[in-house]
Amino acid sequence: MPELPEVETVRRGLAPVLEGRRILQADVRRPDLRWPFPPRMAERLAGARVERLGRRSKYLLADLDSRETLIVHLGMSGRWLVSGVRVGVFHHALAAPEKHDHVILDIEGGGRLTFNDARRFGAMDLWPTEDLEAHRLLASLGPEPLGNAFDGRYLAERLAGRKTPVKAVLLDQRVVAGLGNIYVCEALWRAGISPLAPARDVDAAAAERLAGAIRLVLEAAIAAGGSSLRDYRQADGELGYFQHSFAVYGRESAACTRPGCGGVVARAVQAGRSSYFCPRCQRRA
């Protein structure tokens, strides 16, 4: 499932096509994805101007001049395809609908955005912009890891006294928004902290180091266009490239890349998810 860097990359790719432009027509080709679409979604989108395209955690947020916000979650395989306009150095001809194209938006200026989702785990909703933080998908989210509210002190407070493994705490969207399995593994490696370590064993200095590692990993992943492991594509159709920079994720039995370490990447299963780490340079405590 796309994590924060992938969603942010998509946002940056779509913003030049959407922001300041009207949705001339909306073609909603099925009643639902993961959940039912909001009532009269096509009618409510048609004619609305996109004032701002933002992101909260793993959700895209399109603020409309109708005082509603379109909330989009990509799910496992959802992606926005741009056609009819030039995106960066690529020109994409206007695309004809295909089997898994579920929502099609014709945009002022000749562009077309198509939401394609083969597995249909994506989601969309329309919600009053002024009450957006109360939406059930957004209400309990923690701070953005690239925002000012997230730092070592905050992280130390949320980890203190908890027996839960530190990795599980970082994956809790109520603690920090947008992190997923890939980037938590990578950040813990950079910080030299084992994913198996109890959260309470991460002291203030280690929490400061970990908060910085999270920022660095996310910023590097965004710069690389995210990580393409299965279905993810950028808005211009290109793959992300951060997977070529993984230090531990998916590298079980490979040599640790930390200079002078000499360890070997191991894999452990935590709550049904694979954790990749170097037992030599990532401490249990």
Answer yes or no: 273 catalytic.
yes
Q: What is the CA radius of gyration of the chain?
A: 20
Determine contact, residues 167/267, Cβ cutoff 8 Å.
Answer: no
Determine contact, residues 87/16, Cβ cutoff 8 Å.
Answer: yes
Q: How far apart are CA 10 and CA 18, in angstroms?
A: 12
Catalytic choice (120, 200, 267, 273): 273
Catalytic choice (22, 55, 56, 58): 58
Determine contact, residues 167/275, Cβ cutoff 8 Å.
Answer: yes
Answer yes or no: 2 catalytic.
yes
Q: How far apart are CA 214 and CA 179, in angstroms?
A: 9
Catalytic choice (3, 6, 68, 186): 3
Answer yes or no: 208 catalytic.
no
Answer yes or no: 36 catalytic.
no
Maximum CA extent, the chain: 61
DSSP string, 8-54: HHHHHHHHHHHTT-BEEEEEE-SSBSSSBPPTTHHHHHTT-BEEEEE
Catalytic residue positions? 2-3, 58, 273
